[in-house]
Amino acid sequence: MITVRHLLQSKQPALFTIGPDAPVIEAVRAMAEHGVGALLVMRGATLTGIVSERDYARKVVLLGRASADTPVAHIMSSPVVTVAPQTSVQRCMMLMTERRIRHLPVVEGGGVIGVVSIGDLVKAVMEEQQHTIEQLESYIHG
């Protein structure tokens, strides 16, 4: 069983964050700069929300708000659905499907230690399936 801890070990250990009072335009710029679809919204070391490209599209663009005048706190998703490092990939996929979300912050000891995306999970499942196929082929031909 692959866990979130395994996924985090194979990822770059970067956390991309923004403050809740920052203007939305800064969040959009940071997502573009880092090539990510979401940022953790932090007040100091405390996770207060998560803001995604989807939040921007639905809560700024469609509502005609100004990106420079709207604080991140007004569009972020909160409370945040989080997982622990020992959570299985299957459980994460189930949570993402049920909650219709694409990013899960990973929390341990009260602090955020990483984020897994739907892309991370799909990649892990595909690699696990490929490994199983190779083992079965080896068994059949061996």
Q: What CATH number should be reported for the domain holding residue 45?
A: 3.10.580.10
**Amino acid 118: pLDDT:** 94
Confidence label for 32 from pLDDT (cuts 50, 70 and 90): very high
- The string of pLDDT tens digits covering residues 92-131 is 999 999 999 999 999 999 899 999 999 999 998 888 888 8
Number of domains in the chain: 1
- 114 within 8 A of 108, measured Cβ to Cβ: no
Cα–Cα distance measured from residue 64 to residue 24, given in angstroms and rounded to the nearest whole number: 13
| Strand, helix or coil for residue 87 | coil
What's the predicted TM-score (pTM) here?
Answer: 0.87
Structural domain including 59 reads 4-141
User: What's the rounded Cα separation, in Å, for the pair 105 and 84?
Assistant: 9
**Distance, CA of 67 to CA of 72 (rounded, Å):** 9
CA angle 105, 85, 111 (to 5 degrees): 55
Identify the pLDDT of residue 135.
83
CB 40 within 8 A of CB 32: no
48: nearest Cα among 112, 1, 91: 112
